Amino acid sequence: HQELMTNDRGLDFLFEIGSLRHVPRGWRQHLGFDIASDLEHTYRVMWLALIISRMEKAGDENKIMKMALVHDVAETRTSDLSYVQKVYVEADEEKAADDIFRDTLVSDYRQILHEFEERTSIEAKIVKDADNLDVDIELKELEEQGSKLPAKFSPQRTNLRNEKLYTESAKKLWDKIQNADPSHWHRTMNKFITNPDAGK
């Protein structure tokens, strides 16, 4: 038993959070592509939330960053259930989150996660919008790779845009994503297109 007691709660927490990079998004089963892990998803959600906050000129950025950081943390223990799995399985995310943060130096973040789950504050609404928009960005990336599945999700995603997104800024971003070119950011840096003399 001594070997099981060498780590303190802080180290256990850090190793557990790191394991999010091995937790697949629930919809991977249905898409069949190598999509973002929970950890990769969280990173872009943080940036999306910040951008939405500044577009809206609303919310406490510090709280938004913290909330985005923890929004899927319970999935280290519950996994990310797909829409099919949720028909049959109910994860106890409250208990998972309680246990993850218990006796750590960041136990105060449990309340931030609770606020996100309540969806009443502007910060929680912004982070949830970011959480949803990351799905649409990844669907656009998959479309770029040749997948036909994003088109099949279009009716559901359009309904989500109209019925589930909280902020007008998120809706505007959603509209832009539909016609966006995922490769534009790097193709415009091609020296043979923008600057023939570069690199000589």
pLDDT confidence of residue 2: 47
Residue 103 falls within a domain, yes or no?
A: yes
| Exposure on the CB side of residue 85, measured as CA atoms within 13 A | 13
In this predicted structure, what is the pLDDT of residue 30?
A: 73
* Number of structural domains the chain divides into: 1
Instruction: Kindly state whether residue 129 falls inside one of the protein's structural domains.
Output: yes
3-state secondary structure the chain: CHHHHCCCHHHHHHHHHHHHHHCECCCHHHHCCCCCEHHHHHHHHHHHHHHHHHHHCCCCHHHHHHHHHHCCCCHHHHCCCCCCHHHHCCCCHHHHHHHHHCCCCCCCHHHHHHHHHHCCCHHHHHHHHHHHHHHHHHHHHHHHCCCCHHHHHHHHHHHHHHHCCCCHHHHHHHHHHHCCCCCHHHHCCCHHHHCCCCCC
The pLDDT score that the predictor gives to residue 49 is: 99
**19 located within any domain:** yes
The rounded distance, in Å, linking the Cα atoms of 142 and 7 is: 40
The residue segments making up the domain with residue 56 are: 2-188
Q: Does any domain span residue 193? A: no
Closest CA to 137 of 79, 51, 18, 17: 51
pLDDT in tens, 148-197: 888 998 999 999 999 999 999 999 999 999 999 999 988 877 766 666 66
Q: Provide block-wise average pLDDT over 10 residues at a time, the chain (200 residues).
A: 64 91 77 79 97 98 98 88 86 92 94 97 99 95 88 93 98 97 85 62
Question: Does residue 200 belong to any structural domain of this protein?
Answer: no
Flag whether 121 is in a domain: yes
Model-level pTM? 0.88
CATH of the domain at 46: 1.10.3210.10
Instruction: Evaluate whether residue 196 is within a structural domain.
Output: no
Q: Which two tokens stand for residue 84?
A: 């099919």
Q: Give me the pLDDT at residue 197, please.
A: 64
Beta-bridged to residue 24, according to DSSP, are 37
